């Protein structure tokens, strides 16, 4: 039986880690693309040489040729500059937009049937540009942010309570920036609402840390942004698609009337299966949550409306 093919655009910190994790899980054969010569080839060969130890039989190639995207079921886009200390995700807009335009044109040409997961920042704008340029239906273009932001929230709750991360279920909505909307009201720990386990002040501190979690890592690393957890988050999305798991995952999805929004991407829970984004799940929000969600949307909308594509 032939294996599905996964194309990863950008063989930097996030892209290289995705390749490793996908190989460990044997999700499919992998084509790792970058504009830098030798970088994707070196990382692909390095992971190939780890295969006998990992017991993984998937094939990895590194390439600088977009034609190697042909036949990819999933394309994961990590091309673009990361943040450095003092920068917001929005500061990356001009440089990364030029990159995403080039990448999107090649995805349209070389893997027109693929399911595309965009990771590059500023995420909500980059995923919008990807959809617009490829012309793909909304089922096949999605942005990775919510899975990561929710994972951060879940980790902080698990650490605070001293319980397994598996017990903590949580969701973060909205744009992938400091305006993101964690929903502690819907967080449960082993089925118990978080509000019954933690005081309001502790919950607020966790919400605050979640919002700023990306920057906390940038300040520590100094030369770039997080990559292990973003890679793990995108693998969860790709796996749900490739194995038709129909996981409910918070992702940047193109809304067509849901949440009162049309024609923009926003972070909302979606079902991901072999049909791609199979369903957008609408949550009833409180007035306060609704207000935070709208504020986050206005931020995304202003950036997208100013786009020249």
Query: Which residues contact ligand TXD (rule: CB under 6 A)?
Result: 9-15, 34-36, 39, 78-83, 92, 96, 99, 102-103, 119-121, 123, 144-145, 148, 176, 224-227, 230
Nearer to ligand TXD, 81 or 283 (CB): 81
Identity of the residue, 198 or 240, whose beta carbon is nearer to ligand TXD in the bound complex? 240
Residue 201 exposed, middle or buried by CB count within 10 Å (0-12, 13-18, 19+): exposed
Tokens of 308: 């020249």
User: Of the two residues 42 and 224, which places its CB atom closer to ligand TXD in the complex?
Assistant: 224
* Residue 104 neighbours by CB under 8 Å, 6+ apart: 129, 130, 133, 134
CB atoms within 10 A of CB 136: 21
Tell the smallest beta-carbon distance from residue 94 to ligand TXD (Å).
12
Q: Which residue is nearest to ligand TXD (CB)?
A: 12
C-beta closer to ligand TXD: residue 91 or 290: 91
Cα 110 to Cα 16, 22, 119: the distances in Å are 21, 21, 19
Residue among 103 and 181 whose Cβ is closer to ligand TXD: 103
Q: How far is the CB of 42 from ligand TXD (least distance, A)?
A: 11
Going by the DSSP 8-state scheme, the letter that residue 281 receives in this structure is P
Would you say 80 or 184 has its CB closer to ligand TXD?
A: 80
Tell me the closest approach of the beta carbon of residue 64 to ligand TXD, in angstroms: 9
**What minimum distance in Å lies between the beta carbon of 242 and ligand TXD?**
20
Exposed e or buried b per residue across 143-157, where buried means at least 16 C-beta atoms within 10 angstroms of its C-beta? bbbbbbbbbbbbbbb
Does 176 qualify as catalytic in the annotation?
yes
Q: Are the C-beta atoms of residues 169 and 123 closer than 8 Å to each other?
A: no
Choosing from 110, 128, 176, 299, the catalytic residue is: 176
**What is the maximum span of the chain, computed from C-alpha positions, in angstroms?**
55
Spatial distance between the Cα atoms of 80 and 100, rounded to a whole number of angstroms: 8
Q: Using an 8 Å Cβ cutoff, are 97 and 125 in contact?
A: yes
Give the phi and the psi of residue 139 in degrees, each rounded to 5: -65, -25
- Of the chain, the end-to-end C-alpha distance in Å amounts to 41
Using omega within 30 degrees of 0 as the cis cutoff, is the peptide bond preceding 229 cis?
Answer: no
| CB of residue 293 to ligand TXD, shortest distance in Å | 18
User: Considering the complex, what minimum distance in angstroms separates the CB of residue 40 from ligand TXD?
Assistant: 8
Q: Active-site residue numbers?
A: 176
């Amino acid at each position: 039986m032939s294996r599905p093919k996964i194309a990863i655009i950008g063989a930097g910190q996030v892209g290289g880690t995705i390749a490793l994790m996908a190989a460990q899980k044997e999700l499919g054969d992998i084509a790792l693309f970058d504009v830098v010569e030798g970088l994707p080839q070196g990382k692909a060969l390095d992971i190939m040489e780890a295969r006998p130890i990992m017991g993984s039989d998937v094939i990895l190639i590194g390439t600088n040729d977009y034609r190697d995207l042909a036949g990819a079921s999933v394309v994961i886009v990590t091309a673009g500059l990361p943040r450095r200390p003092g920068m917001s995700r929005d500061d990356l807009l001009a440089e990364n937009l030029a990159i995403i335009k080039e990448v999107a044109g090649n995805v349209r040409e070389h893997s027109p049937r693929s399911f595309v997961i965009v990771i590059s920042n500023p995420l909500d704008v980059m995923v919008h540009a990807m959809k617009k340029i490829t012309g793909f239906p909304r089922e096949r273009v999605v942005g990775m942010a919510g899975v990561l932001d929710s994972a951060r929230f879940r980790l902080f709750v698990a650490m605070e309570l001293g319980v397994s991360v598996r017990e903590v279920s949580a969701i973060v909505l909205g744009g992938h920036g400091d305006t993101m909307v964690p929903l502690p009201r819907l967080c449960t720990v082993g089925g118990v609402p978080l509000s019954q386990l933690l005081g309001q002040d502790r919950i607020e501190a966790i919400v605050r840390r979640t919002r700023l979690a990306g920057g906390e890592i940038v300040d520590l690393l100094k030369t770039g942004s997080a990559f292990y957890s973003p890679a793990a988050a995108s693998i969860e999305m790709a796996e749900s698609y490739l194995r038709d798991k129909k996981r409910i995952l918070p992702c940047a999805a193109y809304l067509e009337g849901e949440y009162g929004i049309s024609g923009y991407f926003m972070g909302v829970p979606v079902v991901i299966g072999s049909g791609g984004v199979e369903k957008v799940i609408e949550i009833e929000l409180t007035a306060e949550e609704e207000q935070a969600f709208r504020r986050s949307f206005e931020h995304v909308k202003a950036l997208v409306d100013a786009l020249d594509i």
